[in-house]
A = this chain, B = another copy of it.
Amino acid sequence: MARAGITTERLILMGAELADEVGIERVTLAEVARRFGVKTASLYSHVANTAALDDGISLLALAELAELATEATSGRAQREALAGLANAYRDYALAHPGRFAAMLRPLTPEVAAASAGPRHARLTEAVLAGYGLTPEAHPHAVRLIGSTVRGFITLEAAGGFAHSAPPAAESWRSIIDALDALLRNWPAPDSSHHGHTTSERNHA
């Protein structure tokens, strides 16, 4: 019987492809083994367990997307850079929904400690450098961009825009315009509202 020639990398890649086809939550060692024509137990020579496979897919996606995002922003500034970054994310999520979903899940603590940390945030920081924000506003703006992009993409993936006009792509462009405008005109800290509302009491 010829061997399947499995390596950890090929295994993770197979898992990533499977994720894109059926969703990350249905990626199973049993199914990956089936696709390699191998018994499930055999995979434990290449990965420690299911969590390790998930981590691998996550890190693969992280690396692939970082590459694309870097390319999409280099040599650009302001709206061009912002749109490049945002589109890199959305395009990747549409092309590789399973990988992208895997990437959103927190890594296993040990792996997280060993891996490269917040590559995303650093990319966003580079984009925002062109907007001349104040040092206090900067991290908030980074988080706003990250939140909005993540939120939009996951909402779209969950079908949140499917049953209503206008098409998602149109809102996407509009939202990028809006964020660009906002970054160009970031509001000064407003101290005129100090927890008036009930729900703000917990946010003092």
Q: Which residues of A contact B (CB under 8 A)?
A: 25, 72, 76, 79-80, 83-84, 87-88, 91, 104-106, 117-118, 121, 137, 139-141, 143-144, 146-152, 154-155, 158-161, 163-166, 169-175, 177-178, 180-182, 185-187, 189-190, 193, 196-200, 202-203
Contacts and interface: CB of A to CB of B under 8 A. Distances in A.
A189 B187 CA distance: 21
Contact of A181 (B25, B165, B185): B185
B155 A147 contact: yes
Given A80-B197, A88-B199, A148-B148, A161 B143 contact: yes
11 contacts: A87-B202, A87-B203, A118-B160, A139-B171, A140-B166, A146-B155, A147-B147, A150-B155, A169-B203, A174-B189, A182-B182
Nearest to A89: B199
A181 B196 CA distance: 19
Nearest to A199: B87
Contacts of A91: 199, 202
B146 A165 contact: no
Nearest to A94: B202
Contact of A182 (B172, B178, B197, B198): B178
